[in-house]
Amino acid sequence: RKEVEQDPGPFNVPEGATVAFNCTYSNSASQSFFWYRQDCRKEPKLLMSVYSSGNEDGRFTAQLNRASQYISLLIRDSKLSDSATYLCVVNPGTASKLTFGTGTRLQVML
């Protein structure tokens, strides 16, 4: 089993739709979690950290479920500009052990 798994997609959704991605991780000792966004031929950029109690940033909501070892990202009212690949990142405690998912591609359509 991969350490971090994501559905590669693509998720093709119309503008205004709500879409959710999940990411499962295998290391139960993992301490911090992040969602990164990567545009085509660009570097990944931090979208949001994921906190134990869940957190929201505008149209984006991140959740952590430690018991089932997954994190989720919910995007409400999708915009064309949300089209990108979303990477799940898990940190078991040291930077050198950061583990990246392969990414989920989102395509928002008119």
Q: Across-strand partners of 45?
A: 37
Triad 107, 74, 76: Cα angle to 5°: 70
Site string for other proteins, 1-40 (x = CB under 8 A): ---x---x-----------------------x-x-x----
Is residue 37 within 8 Å of 31, Cβ to Cβ?
no
Q: Which of 27, 55, 102, 107 binds other proteins (CB under 8 A)?
A: 102
CB of 32 to other proteins, least distance (A): 5
CB of 17 to other proteins, least distance (A): 26
Closest CA to 52 of 78, 36, 30, 37: 30
Under rule CB under 8 A, residue 45 binds other proteins: yes
